[in-house]
Structure 1
């Protein structure tokens, strides 16, 4: 990526410029991971630009969401800016337990990721958004490829989420079909919504979609940690994942060596926060208005200098 640096005048510039002018601990590149959804690209770009303002050398590396932990453990990758408790907490906890990965704390955004149906489906599927009502009318969601089973359109397979396991453990008459990309997922939602066609799919927040489209997240049996860890928990005594997905923080994580090699950068990463409202607005500018990730991230930085200056003044 080529990032345009816009430096403004004033007292704040003096603060950040003086910090950047100081000798950073190492000029070796700090490798930030990039994934396949706009919000994560924005979060990572904002962090990267701030680190560059502080004088650090930043490198962006494309990586799978869950598979990235292998690189974080070895130090081949350094920072992951979005680990969603909804889908990534197990992988994060396992990586932290090795002693090679650290949890840099919350980003300030709260995560919801779950099955979602548009409100117009309540006319043909009474009882929604209860999961049992959804399952009772599974045939309404069938496609030529999945009939007689209903189709659930999941996110890209790299996102995790245990949807296949959930379907099996709850005995649902659905087949999980994974969208190839984030863009494909929301293009299908837009198409179905315009036609009032049956659709049940993965939706998440913070994002513009829950605000744009009228609908509901499916209400599965409430998540508890035991649901994922203990097959005897819940309605299926033989299988785990017989519940909905957890909700919680969106976290930052990284190689344990970041704090030793780049302590100033580690402090800035820990200090990073952005609101879910801000992120939803930024993702909308990218996905709906066609603005570039770089331009939207820079606009946020220009409007929030007092916020990010504090990150690099730690």
Structure 2
């Protein structure tokens, strides 16, 4: 047990989150405090800034209000579900349904991971172009016409095809399958990270250049740039299974929380607080904007949001 909570800072620029797990937490997923609940919580935090915002706010409130230490460790969804299963992590606060096989294995078959409820944020992925280009060429908003614009999107790096700005490798993406199965004359530009993708989009947007990109909401930059979605074939349940045969757009879904099952049952006030944790897309985008747009540390951004939104987060605290 820790005598004093020590805040783990989120190093947003480096994407390195947290410290090593204690031996007890690694084995059980919780440390047992005097009240029978957890006195330390380990968050699995995907690399995108919205996920960092969730964990930064939840972790700071846990420490400041409940005296529970929060450790934030960067883990993409596949690794996060393994960690939840083994007890090396207690909670992931934002899951996009990107690992259905692991979800089925650990949640439905083994019962070592449990659903933690809605985050309160609705997620959507799609293909987007800047509004200034869509205004001039409204027909680009139908995927059937994209090949007519391949020359407009061609760059020196796209091998004579139209350039498609791709997502970070760890993000849920069917873009190459869509390009192949819809016979689109495009080449994906790999960006390597969310930060690199946003930098490239900012550069093109400021220059009023045409571009086609993987894009999503919640995304803090949506408050600063105006993007319009290209209509892909309608999403229907199971249309992206198997992934290689995907010829449909992306789903719109309420983002979910997942917990290690032992933590969910025995984590006491910490587990109850995280089950109650639910905020809006606007809340998340505000904290993300403070981190990426204004350059605050995740801890500073969380503190600023917490100070101005007591009426929201007080409702998440366990009943006394």
**TM-score between both structures, scaled by the size of structure 2:** 0.82
Cα drift, residue 48 of structure 1: 1.1
CA distance change for structure 1 residues 88 and 110 in 2, over 3 Å: closer, same or farther? farther
Which stretch shows the higher mean deviation, 87-96 or 58-67?
87-96
Alpha-carbon distance between aligned partners in 1 of 2:259 and 2:142, rounded to the nearest angstrom: 38
CA deviations 1:62-84 (Å, max 9, x no partner) are 21233321111222221111112
Alpha-carbon distance between aligned partners in 2 of 1:97 and 1:2, rounded to the nearest angstrom: 33
User: Could you tell me which of 158, 166, 184 is aligned with 1:146?
Assistant: 158
Alpha-carbon distance between aligned partners in 2 of 1:67 and 1:177, rounded to the nearest angstrom: 25
**TM-score between both structures, scaled by the size of structure 1:** 0.83
Alpha-carbon distance between aligned partners in 1 of 2:84 and 2:164, rounded to the nearest angstrom: 32
User: Could you tell me which of 224, 244, 253 is aligned with 1:248?
Assistant: 253
- 1:13-92, aligned counterparts within 5 Å? 23-26=34-37, 29-52=40-63, 53-85=65-97, 87=98, 91-92=102-103
Q: What secondary structure sits across from 1:82 in the alignment?
A: strand
CA deviations 1:100-145 (Å, max 9, x no partner) are 2111111111112211101232367550211112233223212222
Is 1:272 the counterpart of 2:283 in the alignment?
Answer: no
Residue matched to 1:182: 194
Q: What secondary structure sits across from 2:189 in the alignment?
A: strand
CA contact (8 A) 1:24 1:56 kept: no
Alpha-carbon distance between aligned partners in 1 of 2:36 and 2:309, rounded to the nearest angstrom: 26
CA distance change for structure 1 residues 175 and 94 in 2, over 3 Å: closer, same or farther? farther
Is 1:294 the counterpart of 2:306 in the alignment?
Answer: no
CA distance change for structure 1 residues 69 and 135 in 2, over 3 Å: closer, same or farther? farther
CA contact (8 A) 2:41 2:71 kept: yes
CA distance change for structure 1 residues 34 and 147 in 2, over 3 Å: closer, same or farther? same
Alpha-carbon distance between aligned partners in 1 of 2:308 and 2:135, rounded to the nearest angstrom: 44
Q: What secondary structure sits across from 1:133 in the alignment?
A: helix
Residue matched to 2:172: 160
Cα drift, residue 209 of structure 1: 2.1
- 1:200-279, aligned counterparts within 5 Å? 200-229=212-241, 240-279=245-284
CA distance change for structure 1 residues 277 and 73 in 2, over 3 Å: closer, same or farther? same
Question: Where does the alignment leave 5 or more consecutive residues of structure 1 unmatched?
Answer: 5-21, 232-238
Residue matched to 1:13: none
CA contact (8 A) 2:40 2:69 kept: yes
CA distance change for structure 1 residues 95 and 242 in 2, over 3 Å: closer, same or farther? farther
For the aligned residue pairs, the C-alpha RMSD in angstroms reads: 2.4
CA contact (8 A) 2:38 2:263 kept: no
Cα drift, residue 208 of structure 1: 2.6
CA distance change for structure 1 residues 63 and 257 in 2, over 3 Å: closer, same or farther? same
Is 1:102 the counterpart of 2:114 in the alignment?
Answer: yes
Q: What secondary structure sits across from 2:176 in the alignment?
A: helix
CA contact (8 A) 1:153 1:178 kept: yes
CA contact (8 A) 2:38 2:269 kept: no
